[in-house]
Amino acid sequence: MSKTVIITGASRGIGRETALAFAGIGCSVAINYNSSEEAAIGLLEELRRIGAQSIAIKADVSDRRQVDEMFGIVNEQLGSVDVLINNAGISQQKLFTDVTEQEWDRMFGVNVKGVFNCCQAALGAMIPRHSGSIINISSMWGQVGASCEVHYSAAKAAVIGLTRALAKEVGPSGVRVNCIAPGVIDTDMCACLRDEDIKALRNETPLGRIGRTSDIAAAALFLASEDAGFITGQVLGVNGGMVI
């Protein structure tokens, strides 16, 4: 697969692993970051060491102007985007009654408006070419909800709804839109969990382990490939059987 891929929130965790996976099969990779510049530059150097054509771009995906500028840079330096992976996201554990309006708006700004901004920016080139793949990263909590993560669950549920509706709208233009709903994955987002919480989640997972970032990267590779050429509007749960 020799394509141009842009991955938002790519400096760490799932995004980082996915960038390495796509670079490993010969893709040109644009890695987006907002605050983790040092990690993004480190990833960029690693991608270039393995021979990948890659660039790193700082942009807050909730800001449309920054997103448009980012896509302009990618188009100029790597070519039109073939695969968009909307991975950038934030989370927070907090009682619903304590969530502030600002926290709610920021949660939806990054996790939902960011997907909206990037999808619109990518579709401007994908629709005329009659090809392209968009992969949105949601969460199993967007499917079933999580206590003390109401705003996060609601935002991730919105991503699922956006995916399904957009797939129907742009399917006739040859663009596929799918969603990955990860389960509990070993990333920085789990850093706030206690060891006993991780153990409990592992025990609740039928496959008996916590997910790896490579599990999500492999799912993204599949959905972007020609092997998934007749798959669109789907939510692929990568959760070890925790949500069926």
Q: Is residue 215 in some structural domain?
A: yes
| Rama region for 87: left / alpha / beta (φ>0; ψ in -120 to 50; rest) | alpha
Query: Can you tell me the distance from the alpha carbon of 178 to that of 64, in angstroms, rounded to the nearest whole number?
Result: 22
pLDDT tens digits, residue range 206-230? 999 999 999 999 999 999 999 999 9
pLDDT digits (tens, 9 = 90+) for 14-68: 999 999 999 999 999 999 999 999 999 999 999 999 999 999 999 999 999 999 9
Q: Domain limits at 29?
A: 4-238
Does 186 fall in a domain? yes
Residue 243 located in a structural domain: no
What length does the chain have?
A: 244
Cα-based distances in Å from 145 to 61, 98, 138, 156, 243: 24, 17, 12, 9, 11
Contacts of 82 (CB under 8 A, 6+ apart): 3, 4, 5, 126, 131, 132, 133
pTM for the model stands at 0.97
pLDDT of residue 190: 74
The CATH number assigned to the domain holding 131 equals 3.40.50.720
> In terms of Cα–Cα distance, which of 235, 236, 242, 244 is closest to 211?
242
Indicate whether 244 belongs to any domain.
no
- Active centre residues (catalytic): 152
Number of domains observed in the structure of the chain: 1
User: Which of 6, 106, 108 has its CA nearest to residue 54?
Assistant: 6
pLDDT value at residue 5: 98
Tokens of 167: 């797939």
- Average pLDDT value for residue range 147-166: 98
In a domain, 210, yes or no: yes
Read off the pLDDT of residues 134-153 as tens digits, 9 standing for 90 and up.
999 999 999 999 999 999 99
**Mean pLDDT across 120-124:** 98
Are the beta carbons of 88 and 63 closer than 8 angstroms? no
Q: Is 26 inside a domain boundary? A: yes
Helix 37-49 to helix 13-24 angle (10° resolution) is 20
